[in-house]
Amino acid sequence: PNLIEIQKNSFKKFLESGIKSALEDIFPIESYNGDLKLHFEDFFLEKPKFDIKESKNRDFTYSSELFVHVKLENVLTKEVKRSRILMTDLPLITPSGTFVINGTERVVVAQIIRSSGAYFSQKFDNKTNKMLFLGQIIPTRGAWIEFEQSNKDFLYAKLDRSKKIPLTKFIHTLGFNSREEIENVFGKNELLDLSFQKDEESNSSDAIVELYSKLHQGEKVPANAAREFVRTRLFDRKKYDLSSVGRYKINKKLDVLNRVENTFLAKDLKDIDTNEILFPKGTLLTRDIIEQLRQKRQYLRKELVNSEYHLENEMTNESAMTYRKSETDDNLYVKDNISNFQTGEILIEADSILNEELIAIIEANKEKIDEKIVKFFLEGQNVEKKENDVKKVFNEVLEVYFLDDKENKTFVKIIGNNQEERSENIVLSDIIASISYYLNLYMNIGHVDDIDHLG
C-alpha cells in the first residue's frame, strides 16, 4: 500500500478547499464603526522560487507565496478598491510526503487530541471518600466550558480555563435572573443549594461582570460590555467552532432519550394539540417505549429560558437594538443611544419608545449612523416582525423517577439539547443540557466517558 497517500491527499485537499474555507471564516473584516469592509475574493499560489533539490542545497524552505485578492468597500461612499495581498510563504509537501524547512527535510506529526464534543468523567477523592465528576464541552476552536466539584461539595464552572465561579453564577450569565428561574428549569437539587450559598442575591448582570473579571485578571467593565465579550466568545462562529463531528457527538451525548432507560415517567406525556395522554405517568421507559418517543420528540420540546433576555440571542440577533420592558408591554424601546458617528451627537436617546417619528430621524440621518443600525431599522422586515422572530431556545425535557432497593421514589428532571440543531457552533440549548447531564450524574443518571478513548 501507498503509506504516504493519506498525507499527500490531505495536503491536496487543503490547497484546493481548506485555504479558501479558512479565509472565508475570517472575512469580511470590518472597521470599528462599520464604515469600511474588507472582502475576500480569491487566492492563488505562485510557483516555488526554488525546487526541492535547490532548497536543500541552499538551506531554504521549499515553499510558495500565497496571495489573496481582496476588495475594500467604503460603506458610506460606496467606493470600492481591489488589491492583491501577500499573505505568507506556504511550505509545500514533497512527493515523498515531507516538507523542506531551512534546507532540512521534515515530517509533520499530528498531535493526538480528543475530538470536539461533550465529555463527562469521574475521579475518586481519597480525602472525602466520594466520587467527584468533571464535565467538559470541548470545541475544535474556541473556549472550553468545564464543570467540577470541590472536595467540600461546591459545584463550579470555568470558561476558557479561567478561574472558577459557582455553577449557579455561571447559569445566571446565560440569562437566568433569579434562583427561582434556575430551580424551575433544573429542579431543586442539594448540590445547587450549596452553590447558591456562594451566590446569594446574584442576577444575570452581576454574574456576567464577575465572569468577565475572572477572564481578565480582575478587570471590571459594565455589564453590557462584559455580556458582549462572553457572547462573542461562545456564540460567534469566527471564534467558536465545534465542526460537524463535534455537533454529531454533542447531539448524541446530550440526547435526553439516551439516559432515561429503566426510569418511570413522573408525569403524563400528552399531545399538546389534543391533550390526549400518549404515555401515562408511571410508564416504565423500556427500549421499545424510548424508540416510540423518538418519533414524538415534539412533545418533549420546551422553551426554558426567556427568549428576549438570554445570552445567545443578543449575539445572534440584532433585535438586541430594541427591547420590551415586560411581556405585557406592547411598546418597543430603543436599547442604546443612536448617535451621529461623525460628530458624536445623540440623535435618539436610549429607552425612547420606537415610533414613526424615530424611524424618520434614522431615515434622514442614515448616512451618519452606523450601517448595522440603519439595516436593522430601515431594511428588510419591519422592526416589529424582527422582534417577533427572535430566536427561541428549545430543549427536550422529561421528568422521571427511579426506585431504590426499598422501592422509594427519587424524582429527577432530565434535560437534553435540541436534537434538531445542526449548527457547527455551540448553542444555549447545548450548555443547558450539559449542565443538566452533569447534575444528573450525581443521581446515577447518565454515563461517564472513558478518558483513554480519543473518539
65-110 per-position pLDDT tens digit: 999 999 999 888 889 999 999 999 999 999 999 999 999 999 887 7
317: confidence class by pLDDT, cuts 50, 70, 90: very low
pTM: 0.68
Question: Distance between CA atoms of 189 and 16, rounded to whole angstroms?
Answer: 53
Q: What are phi and psi of 451, to 5 degrees?
A: -65, -15
Contact 399, 266 (CB under 8 A): yes
Give 43-67 pLDDT, tens digit per residue.
999 999 999 999 999 999 999 999 9
| Average pLDDT, rounded, for the chain | 86
- Answer whether residue 199 shows pLDDT above 80: no
276 vs 315, more confident: 276
- Answer whether residue 166 shows pLDDT above 60: yes
Predicted confidence at residue 264, as pLDDT, reads 95
Q: Which residue has the cell 499527500?
A: 8
What is 19-75 written as a DSSP string? HHHHHHHHPPEE-TTSSEEEEEEEEEEPPPSS-HHHHHHTT---EEEEEEEEEEEET
Q: Residue ranges of the domains in the chain? A: 5-106, 318-383
Q: What are phi and psi of 22, to 5 degrees?
A: -65, -40
Q: What residues does 105 pair with on adjacent strands?
A: 100
- Answer whether residue 327 shows pLDDT above 80: no
Q: What is the DSSP letter of 394?
A: E
124 HSE (CA, 13 A, CB side) = 2
Question: Distance between CA atoms of 358 and 334, rounded to whole angstroms?
Answer: 10
Contact 340, 369 (CB under 8 A): yes
- Answer whether residue 318 shows pLDDT above 70: no
442: confidence class by pLDDT, cuts 50, 70, 90: very high
What is 71-84 written as a DSSP string? EEEETTT--EEEEE
